[in-house]
Amino acid sequence: MNEKDFLASYNASAYNTPKGLPVDICMFTITSTKKQTVRKVLPTRDIKILLIKRKGHPYKDMWALPGGFSKEEESLYEAAKRELKEETNIGDDVHIEQLKTVYYPGRDKRGWMPTVVYFALVNEKYLQNMQAADDATEAKLFTVEEALSMSLAFDHHDIIQEAYDKIKEKMLTTSIAKEFLEDEFTIAELLQVLQVVVPEFKVEKSNFIRKMVSTETRKGLLEEVRLENGDHKMSDRNSQREARLYQFSDHMPKVSIYNSTLF
Amino acid sequence: MNEKDFLASYNASAYNTPKGLPVDICMFTITSTKKQTVRKVLPTRDIKILLIKRKGHPYKDMWALPGGFSKEEESLYEAAKRELKEETNIGDDVHIEQLKTVYYPGRDKRGWMPTVVYFALVNEKYLQNMQAADDATEAKLFTVEEALSMSLAFDHHDIIQEAYDKIKEKMLTTSIAKEFLEDEFTIAELLQVLQVVVPEFKVEKSNFIRKMVSTETRKGLLEEVRLENGDHKMSDRNSQREARLYQFSDHMPKVSIYNSTLF
DNA sequence: ACAATAGTGTCTGTAAGACATTATGTA
DNA sequence: TACATAATGTCTTACAGACACTATTGT
């Protein structure tokens, strides 16, 4: 059956879910791949998004955001989490946040079809067993750049663009960078992750490393990880020389365009 | 009929709107009232929110957010705007923005009932002819503090709290303060409006007035209004001595917790 | 010894905030 | 002339960014 026949035979009200809403998920991750170099260096990192290939009409065989319908007995948040889990088999330790709800006439050829969009930030370590999840649906990670250059189902291009813009903003104003990092990370890793998502964020690495811990207004944002004996905990995973490890603290500074002092 | 009888007789599916969604609106405004003083001073300003008194069950006679159902032939944004207009009779020149969509089991005694929440920032000058709008429904402005201390219908307390938190954040990181100001405003007015919404934002007025225009990173955020002859346009509406008038420019700086320079 | 990353020293320009002072116009 | 607000002067401390330099360790 082609799409035209499908739409002609489609009974919109049969698909309407009076007690649930369509939920779509923009799942972002940052993959890291080892560089083939003589010495240890930072891995190559890329920001990626999960897409699935549609099995049915409309937009059959096109790539789209994963999603599904929420149920009456679950919250929208729970629905998003469930859908993501069905697709990726990840655990509960995921940052998932509502982006927006979309409806305007004509957004779905089938008629009335809103969608509640969530975005998720998932550490690549949770995506190891993704294939096992559901091999009936073809799911694949694309770089965000790639995804945005493709022709996608529905208005998913615009949704991804908006989700990505949101993440770029939150990357610099909250501590969500931690979702993409190990529990304990070096400042070079932090900077790399920030710049993978927000290339416009330009600072000199050596200054960044120092200022993140030395400047008074930034104190409390990161904590140095210490060993029992009080020494700095170090890692040499990215370099010959060991680097100090850090964690985000609970302290979340706020920012303002009216004076750039954090408070 | 009391609420218990009402719920017993309530047929949820009759109210379900397969082709529309409930939309609620947090409409904020800042009222200004002249102080009774010998000399001209800044008015007293208060951040207020619009509530309506519910005419029917559930939560009959309690204060609640204004809202209604979106239609298939309009976007959610248009629905929010329409609902707000029905309530307040304001024009199209309104900042209205989606906050979030809420559903969790039990949020409405009638069963499945999500809501798409919008917040609106409306200048008080547009609310002059509010009474004319629809005198069947009782609508009233409450200070946000007051509203949050009241017992409200549904989970509207939590929704208002979240909307207010969002506005506080956006107040300091975007130029939405302009929604509450005249087209041309003094820096003292700007600061007052900022502090009415975000009391934690503390700066010394004389420094603020200077730094807003003199500091390099803030240049471009505000523009001095000039007369034809190049002189500063001034106003003495709040003081004996005239103050310079400003406008927000198109330039929107971004902020970061990782370095507090705007870019 | 070299390569690559980690981290420090030092200097310049600018911002934030405290506090004092001057400017302006009306009751 | 008194007063309330507008705006500037001045000073201290701190941050951002540039750039040079040292530190560490595996190959």
> What are the residues facing B100 on neighbouring strands?
B117
- What pLDDT is recorded for position B8? 64
Residue B39 contacts strand C, CB under 7 A: yes
- pLDDT tens-digit map of B212-224: 988 888 878 999 9
For residue A55, how many other CB atoms are within 10 A of its CB?
10
Question: How far is Cα B203 from Cα B254, in angstroms, rounded to an integer?
Answer: 20
Q: Based on the number of CB atoms within 10 Å of its own CB, is A5 exposed (0-12), middle (13-18) or buried (19 or more)?
A: exposed
The distance (Å) linking the CA of B44 with the C1' of C20 is 28
B94/D17 CA-to-C1' distance in Å? 41
Question: Measured between alpha carbons, how far is A196 from A37 in angstroms, rounded to an integer?
Answer: 20
pLDDT digits (tens, 9 = 90+) for A142-180: 999 999 999 999 999 999 999 999 999 999 999 999 999
Task: Decide if A46 contacts A143 (C-beta within 8 A).
Answer: yes
Query: Å between B45 CA and D1 C1'?
Result: 32
**Contact present, B113 and B102 (Cβ < 8 Å):** no
pLDDT score at B13 = 52
Q: How confident is the model at residue A128 (pLDDT cuts 50, 70, 90)?
A: confident
Q: Do A101 and B102 touch (CB under 8 A)?
A: no
* Closest C-alpha among A164, A191, A194, A189 to residue A176: A194
Q: Confirm if A216 and A253 have CB atoms less than 8 A apart.
A: no
Tell me how far apart the alpha carbons of residues B42 and A42 are, in angstroms, rounded to a whole number.
57
Q: How far is CA B60 from CA B3, B21, B51, B154, in A?
A: 8, 21, 14, 11
Query: Is pLDDT at A129 greater than 90 in this prediction?
Result: no
Residue-averaged pLDDT of chain B: 89
Angle at A65 between CA A61 and CA A70, to 5 degrees: 115
Average pLDDT score over chain A: 90
Q: Is the pLDDT of residue B207 over 90?
A: yes
Dist CA A79 CA A68 (whole Å)? 8
pLDDT greater than 60 at residue A133 = no
Distance CA A73, CA A92 (A): 19
Q: What is the pLDDT of residue B63?
A: 96
Q: In 3-state terms, what secondary structure has residue B236? A: coil
Least confident of A89-103, A193-207, B30-44: B30-44
CA angle A77, B155, B98 (to 5 degrees): 60
Residue A6 confidence (pLDDT): 53
Average pLDDT over residues A5-34: 77
Q: State the nearest residue by CA to the C1' of C18.
A: B204
Report the phi/psi class of residue B111: left, alpha or beta, with left for phi > 0 and alpha for psi in -120 to 50: left
Give yes or no for residue B131 having a pLDDT over 70: no
How is residue B114 written in tokens? 């999500």
B183 pLDDT exceeds 80? yes
pLDDT at B12 over 80: no
Instruction: Summarize the confidence of residues A242-263 as an average pLDDT.
Output: 88
CA distance A43 to B256: 25
- B93 vs chain A: nearest CA distance in angstroms? 20
Give the span between the Cα atoms of B206 and B123, in whole angstroms. Answer: 26
pLDDT of residue B1: 63
List strand D contacts in B 178-197 (CB < 7 A).
186-188
Report helix angle A187-197 to A205-214, nearest 10: 110
**A215 CB inside 7 Å of strand D:** yes
- Residue B102, strand partner residues: B115
Name which of A189, B59, A147 is nearest B24 in CA terms: B59
Q: What is the C-alpha separation between A246 and A111, in angstroms, rounded? A: 51
| pLDDT given for residue A5 in this prediction | 62
Q: Kindly report the CA angle at B135 between B129 and B138, in degrees rounded to 5?
A: 100
Q: Judge whether residue A244 contacts strand C, using its CB and a 7 Å cut-off.
A: yes
| Residue B4 pLDDT grade (very low, low, confident, very high; cuts 50, 70, 90) | low
The first and second tokens of residue A179, run together, are 């979702």
Enumerate the residues of chain B whose CB falls inside 8 A of the CB of residue A211: 259
Question: What proportion of chain A, given as a percentage, has pLDDT over 70?
Answer: 90
Q: Which two tokens stand for residue A71?
A: 């149920």
Distance B122 CA to D1 C1' (A): 43
Report the Cα A55 to chain-centroid distance in Å: 24
- Average pLDDT, stretch B198-203? 93
CA–CA separation, B12 vs B7, rounded Å? 9
Distance CA(A152)–CA(A62), nearest Å, equals: 6
pLDDT at A15 over 80: no
Per-residue pLDDT at B125:
92
User: 10 Å Cβ neighbour count for A1?
Assistant: 10
- HEC string for A185-197: ECHHHHHHHHHHH
pLDDT of residue B110: 81
**Cβ A160 vs Cβ A147: under 8 Å:** yes
CA distance A68 to A81: 11
CA pair distance B9, B1, nearest whole angstrom? 10
Q: Are strands B22-33 and B44-53 parallel, antiparallel or unpaired?
A: antiparallel
Residues A44-76 have pLDDT tens digits of: 999 999 999 998 888 989 999 999 999 999 999
Who wins on pLDDT, A9 or B223? B223
Q: What is the pTM of this model?
A: 0.93
When scoring B258, B260, B261 by the number of chain A Cβ atoms within 10 A, the one with the most, hence best to mutate, is B258
- Written in H, E and C, the secondary structure of A16-45 is CCCCCCEEEEEEEEEEEECCCCCCCCCCEE
What is the predicted pLDDT for the residue at B200? 93
Measured to protein CB atoms, the chain C nucleotides within 7 Å are 3-9, 14-21, 23-27
Output the CA angle A15-A108-A158, nearest 5 degrees: 130
User: Comparing C-alpha atoms, which of A47, A67, A46 is closest to residue A155?
Assistant: A67
Contact criterion met (CB < 8 Å) for A201 and B101: no
Neighbours of B35 (CB within 10 A): 11
Mean pLDDT along residues B152-180 = 97
List the single best residue of A208, A257, A261, A263 to mutate versus B (max B Cβ within 10 A): A257
Summarize pLDDT for B42-89 with one digit per residue, the tens.
999 999 999 999 988 889 899 999 999 999 999 999 999 999 999 888
pLDDT tens-digit readout, A78-125: 999 999 999 888 888 899 999 999 999 999 888 899 999 999 999 999
Stretch B159-169: mean pLDDT, rounded? Answer: 98
Rounded Cα gap, residues A102 and A115, in angstroms: 5
Owner of token pair 């655990």: A91
Which of A3-7, A85-89, A126-130, B181-185 has the weakest average pLDDT?
A3-7
Per-residue pLDDT of B250-259, as tens digits, reads: 988 889 988 8
